Amino acid sequence: MASIERLGDEDYISLTTFKRNGTGVATPVWVMRDGGHLYVITQADSGKAKRLRNFSRVMVAPCDMRGRINGASVDATAELLDDSGTRHVQDLVTRKYGWRARAFAGLEGTRGAIQRVLRRPAGAGRVGIRITLSH
């Protein structure tokens, strides 16, 4: 079984969230570990955030940037964080991923500009997710 330390040391994990009908949707995400939890960050209006508002059960597994699993899946629970928790996760992202995180943040600014040109709302920003592995 994958440990929290091993998963936290990965560049990516596959985060599987579940639809109302029970179907799992796996997404490769950056992962950070702090204490006894894993953390990820996503757009507040993303599918995974919407699914987590309905079900806290998730599965996590080490993977590559394309989502190809390369280790055991682990049952876990996940919760969306408030603004303060999200800022903490953003700090963890910047600390672990450095220039990649800053470059990604720049691209997100571009995404917002494109959405304004297309007259689409940019969404509600980002939200941190705390993941607790099941024992």
Per-residue model confidence as pLDDT tens digits over 86-110: 999 999 998 898 877 766 665 555 4
**Tokens at 65, concatenated:** 């940037």
Per-residue model confidence as pLDDT tens digits over 112-129: 544 444 443 444 599 999
Contact 33, 39 (CB under 8 A): yes
CATH topology of domain 4-133: Pnp Oxidase; Chain A (2.30.110)
Does this model's pTM top 0.85? My answer is no
Beta strand pairing call for 74-80 and 57-63? antiparallel
Place of tokens 């943040």: 105
CA 6/CA 116 separation, integer angstroms:
40
Per-residue model confidence as pLDDT tens digits over 10-22: 999 999 999 999 9
Q: How many CB atoms lie within 10 A of CB 77?
A: 14
